[in-house]
Chain A
Amino acid sequence: MRISLQEELDQLEASLQEEGTLVLRALRGCLNALERHDAELADEVIAFDDEVDETYVAIEEGIQSLLARQTPVAIDLRNVLAVLHINLHLERMADYCVTVAKLTKLVHDTPPDETLAEALEDMGTRAEEMIQAALDSFANRDVESAESLVDMDELIDAANRRVVHQILSISADPDLREWGLRMLLVSRCLERIGDHAVDIGEQTAFLVSGQFREFTDASH
C-alpha cells in the first residue's frame, strides 16, 4: 500500500546511508592526511566536500517534495523528520573533516609529537566507529545500539581531555606551540563529530519511540 510513498522513503534513506559512507571516507581521508602530513591528500578531502554538499541538498529537496506531495503521518512523518535531522548532522560532520584537513595543511611541515599524534588517531578511529554505529542503528531501528553511542562518546571525551593535557605539556617548546594549538582545534573537531553521532542516535530513538529526548544532558 502507498507504493510511491514507500519507494520515496526508501530512496531518501538510501541516499542518507550513502551520504554517511561519504562522510566516513572524508574522515578517513583527513585522518590519513593528518598522520602522513600529506597536504595533497588534505586538498582532495576539501574538494570532496562538494560531493557531500550535493547529496545534502538533494536530500533536502527530496524531503521538501515528499512532505508537500505525500503528507506522511505517524511513523512515516517521524521517519522523514529523522532523515532531515540526520542529514544536517552528517553535513556538519563533513564540514569538521574539512576543518581538520585545512588545519593539517597549515602545519604539515612541522614534525609532530608522537604521543599526541597517536592520541588523535585514536580519537579519529573512535569517531569512525561511532559514525558507523550511528548509521547502522538507524538502518536497523536499534535503540539499544543507539544508546551505546553515549558510552562511546565518553571515551572520546576522555581522550579529548588527555589531548588537552598533553598539549599543555608540550606548549613549553616554541616549535611545537603552534602545532599544539592547531591540534587542539583538531581534537575539538573530532569530539564534535562524536557529539553529532550521538545526536543521530537520538533521532533513531525518536523514530522508534515517538518521543524526542536527549541521551545526555549537554550541561555536563
Chain B
Amino acid sequence: MTIIESPVQVAQQQTRELPPPEKREIVFDVSALTVSYGENPALKNVSLDVYKNFVTAFIGPSGCGKSTFIRCFNRMNDLIPSAVVEGTILYRGNDLYGPDVDAVEVRRRIGMVFQKPNPFPKSIYDNVAFGPRVLGMTDDLDGRVERALHQAALWDEVKDRLKDGALGLSGGQQQRLCIARCLAVEPDVLLMDEPASALDPISTTRIEDLMHDLKREYTIVIVTHNMQQAARIADMTAFFSVQVEDGRRSGVLVEYDATPTIFTKPADKRTEDYVTGRFG
C-alpha cells in the first residue's frame, strides 16, 4: 500500500499560502521610528518589516498613531510643517528620508488611497489620467486609463461614460476610482488609510475582494479601525496602542504577527483585550 501525498501539502499548493519567514522579501524596513508634531510624540520607537505581496494591516484604538505611521511611508508627513520624523525607514534598502531622495518619485512608487474618497472634480478619464500626465507618462494614455480601471474592477461600470464627471459616481465607485488613479502610475506599494470606513457594507466587501486580487501584483498596507476587516483580509497585522508617559499620550507598537495568530492566540494581553473587544 502506498502512502499518498499528505492532503495538508496538497492544500498548501492549492491556495496562496504565505511564504515562510526566510523566503519573504522585505519592502519596508522600519527601525526605531518616532514621529512628533512639535513637542508631542505621536508615535514612539516603532520597528517592523513590511513584506512584498502581503496585505499588512495596522489596527488599534484612535490616537494610537497608525495614520501618522502609514503617512510616513510615502512622505505625506512632509506636508505638515510641524511634523518631525526620527529613526529610519528603508524602502527596498534605500533610506526613504535620505538627503537626495525625490519625494515625487517616492509618491509615484508608493501610492495612497484616503478614507474619504477624493475624486477630482473632473471627468472619470481625467481623474485616472491625472497621475500619468503630471509625471510625464503620456504614451498610450487611453491604454493606461483602461488598464487601471480594469484593475480597480471599475471598467465595466464606467466604460461608456468616461467623460462624465467623477462626482456623479456612488461612494463605492468613487473609492475604486481613487484606487484606479493610484494604479495608473504603476506603483509598487499601495497605502490605504481606512479605505472602506466611509462606505456601505457591499462596497466594503468589493474593496476587500479587490485587495485580495491586487496583492498578487502589489504590496498593500492598510490602516483600519475595523479589526474584523483586518482579520478578513490581512496577512500580517500590527496592533498599536496608546501609552501615557509624563502626561503625554503617544502611540506604540504592541504586537506584530501573522493575522491568524493575532486573532487566535495573541502573545500580549493588550492585544487580546483589544481584539476580544474588552478594551477599556
Task: Give the interface of A toward B (CB within 8 A).
Answer: 1-5, 7-8, 11, 14-15, 18-19, 21-22, 25, 29, 41, 44-45, 48, 51, 54-55, 58, 64-65, 68-71
Interface pairs (18), CB distance under 8 Å: A1-B209, A2-B209, A3-B213, A4-B208, A5-B232, A11-B14, A14-B10, A15-B7, A15-B8, A15-B11, A18-B11, A22-B7, A48-B3, A54-B8, A64-B264, A65-B260, A68-B260, A69-B263
In the complex, what's the smallest C-beta–C-beta distance from A36 to chain B, in angstroms?
Answer: 12
In the complex, what's the smallest C-beta–C-beta distance from A127 to chain B, in angstroms?
Answer: 18
Let me know if B233 is at the binding interface, CB within 8 A: yes
Contact B231 A11 (CB under 8 A): no
Contact B11 A11 (CB under 8 A): yes
Cα-based distance from A55 to B206 in the complex (angstroms):
33
In the complex, what's the smallest C-beta–C-beta distance from B152 to chain A, in angstroms?
Answer: 15
In the complex, what's the smallest C-beta–C-beta distance from A39 to chain B, in angstroms?
Answer: 14
Known A11-B15, A69-B260; judge A18-B231 contact (CB<8 A): no
A-side contacts of B6, CB under 8 Å: 51, 54-55
Contact A7 B15 (CB under 8 A): yes
B-side contacts of A41, CB under 8 Å: 1
Contact B10 A18 (CB under 8 A): yes
Contact A4 B232 (CB under 8 A): yes
Cα-based distance from A2 to B209 in the complex (angstroms):
6
Cα-based distance from A22 to B14 in the complex (angstroms):
19
Cα-based distance from A1 to B202 in the complex (angstroms):
9
A-side contacts of B212, CB under 8 Å: 3-4
Interface of B is mostly: helix
Cα-based distance from A64 to B264 in the complex (angstroms):
7
A-side contacts of B15, CB under 8 Å: 7-8, 11
Of chain B, the residue at the smallest CB distance from A55 is B7
Contact A29 B1 (CB under 8 A): yes
B-side contacts of A45, CB under 8 Å: 1
Cα-based distance from A111 to B233 in the complex (angstroms):
61
Let me know if B205 is at the binding interface, CB within 8 A: yes
In the complex, what's the smallest C-beta–C-beta distance from B87 to chain A, in angstroms?
Answer: 31
B7, B10, B233: most-surrounded residue (chain A CB, <10 A): B7
B-side contacts of A68, CB under 8 Å: 231, 260, 263-264
17 other A-B residue contacts (CB within 8 Å) besides A11-B14, A18-B10: A1-B205, A1-B209, A3-B209, A3-B213, A4-B208, A4-B233, A14-B10, A15-B8, A18-B11, A25-B1, A48-B3, A51-B3, A54-B8, A58-B7, A68-B231, A68-B260, A71-B231
Of chain B, the residue at the smallest CB distance from A12 is B11
Cα-based distance from A8 to B232 in the complex (angstroms):
11
Contact A14 B14 (CB under 8 A): yes
B-side contacts of A2, CB under 8 Å: 205, 208-209, 232
Which residues of B, 207-255, contact A by the 8 Å Cβ criterion? 208-209, 212-213, 228, 231-233
In the complex, what's the smallest C-beta–C-beta distance from A2 to chain B, in angstroms?
Answer: 6
Cα-based distance from A5 to B259 in the complex (angstroms):
14
In the complex, what's the smallest C-beta–C-beta distance from B129 to chain A, in angstroms?
Answer: 29
Contact A69 B14 (CB under 8 A): no
Contact B213 A69 (CB under 8 A): no
Which residues of B, 1-38, contact A by the 8 Å Cβ criterion? 1, 3-4, 6-8, 10-11, 14-15
- A18 in complex: contacting residue of B3, B7, B209, CB < 8 Å: B7
Known A3-B213, A7-B15, A70-B232; judge A19-B7 contact (CB<8 A): yes
Cα-based distance from A14 to B10 in the complex (angstroms):
9
Cα-based distance from A69 to B4 in the complex (angstroms):
31
Cα-based distance from A8 to B14 in the complex (angstroms):
11
Known A1-B205, A2-B209; judge A71-B228 contact (CB<8 A): yes
In the complex, what's the smallest C-beta–C-beta distance from B263 to chain A, in angstroms?
Answer: 4
A2, A19, A21: most-surrounded residue (chain B CB, <10 A): A2
Of chain B, the residue at the smallest CB distance from A32 is B1
Cα-based distance from A55 to B11 in the complex (angstroms):
10
B-side contacts of A21, CB under 8 Å: 4
B-side contacts of A18, CB under 8 Å: 7, 10-11
- A65 in complex: contacting residue of B1, B11, B233, B264, CB < 8 Å: B264
A-side contacts of B264, CB under 8 Å: 64-65, 68
Cα-based distance from A2 to B212 in the complex (angstroms):
9
In the complex, what's the smallest C-beta–C-beta distance from B143 to chain A, in angstroms?
Answer: 27
Cα-based distance from A62 to B264 in the complex (angstroms):
11
